[in-house]
């Protein structure tokens, strides 16, 4: 029988530990549910990790169960698959997540939408360790001016800028693979009907973006 020296034993032990870690990470199928559970609380601050895990288990077993959040309200999945989820976080907020796998690291697109008085969204991008990426380099959030057509008279543009000081733009992930981001303005809900009627002939209803790898590109009309 051959005996190993102390240094050789230590080297072998470290090798086993490294291999075990690599095998575990390789064998772990990362899904959007995994990322939902591991989020440290910057987005899902009202839902403890244990509650999030329970929500996933219930949904995967065919039960859509509302979970009680830390404010005493209900949170509930509206959709969940391997890459995408939509969560009604509260009565006034929804969250969409889309996982974008890549060779180096997974990117996570998160859209948080506050509902009243009209939907207003924020998009952020994160890596798999939930470190925030420079979203401005990946996606340019549209503003109301982007919905104005070229035919809109200058005086109406000025009037609309004065009438709608808030952007109130809703983003949603759409398509069978949820790889399309659609932006819609909330002017019809924010303005009175007679005032909105002045502007609506010169407004486009939506702006569409599509995921290309880890980039988000605007689709030309």
Give the residue from 187, 219, 191, 192 showing the smallest Cα distance to 205: 187
Q: How far apart are CA 37 and CA 59, in angstroms?
A: 14
Within 8 A by CB and 6+ apart from 49, the residues are 37, 38
Tell me the domain boundaries of the chain.
Answer: 82-218
pLDDT tens, residue by residue, 66-120: 999 998 999 999 999 999 999 999 999 999 999 998 778 899 999 999 987 789 9
- CB 185 within 8 Å of CB 147: yes
pLDDT tens, residue by residue, 159-179: 999 988 888 899 999 999 999
Flag whether pLDDT at 129 surpasses 70. Answer: yes
Q: How far apart are CA 169 and CA 120, in angstroms?
A: 5
- CB 85 within 8 Å of CB 96: yes
130 is written with which tokens? 């939930």
In degrees, to the nearest 5, what angle opens at C-alpha 54 toward C-alphas 75 and 69?
30
7 C-beta neighbours (distance < 10 Å), count: 8
Give the residue from 121, 197, 98, 186 showing the smallest Cα distance to 147: 186
Task: pLDDT band for 6, please (50, 70, 90 cuts).
Answer: low
């Amino acid at each position: 029988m051959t005996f190993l020296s102390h240094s050789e034993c230590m080297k072998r032990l470290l090798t086993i530990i490294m291999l075990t870690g690599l095998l575990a990470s390789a064998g772990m199928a990362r899904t959007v549910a995994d990322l939902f559970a591991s989020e440290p609380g910057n987005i899902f601050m009202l839902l403890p990790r244990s509650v999030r895990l329970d929500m996933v288990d219930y949904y995967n077993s065919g039960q859509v169960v509302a979970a009680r959040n830390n404010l005493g309200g209900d949170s509930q999945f509206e959709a969940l698959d391997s890459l995408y989820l939509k969560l009604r976080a509260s009565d006034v907020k929804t969250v969409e997540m889309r996982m974008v796998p890549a060779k180096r690291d997974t990117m996570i697109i998160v859209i948080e939408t506050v509902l009243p008085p009209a939907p207003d969204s924020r998009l952020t991008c994160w890596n798999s360790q939930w470190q925030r990426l420079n979203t401005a380099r990946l996606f340019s959030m549209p503003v109301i001016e982007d919905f104005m057509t070229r035919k809109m008279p200058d005086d109406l543009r000025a009037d609309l800028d004065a009438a709608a000081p808030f952007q109130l733009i809703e983003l949603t992930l759409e398509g069978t693979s949820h790889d399309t981001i659609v932006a819609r303005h909330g002017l019809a809900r924010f303005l009175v009907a007679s005032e909105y009627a002045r502007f609506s002939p010169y407004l486009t209803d939506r702006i569409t973006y599509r995921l290309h790898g880890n980039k988000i590109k605007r689709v030309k009309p």
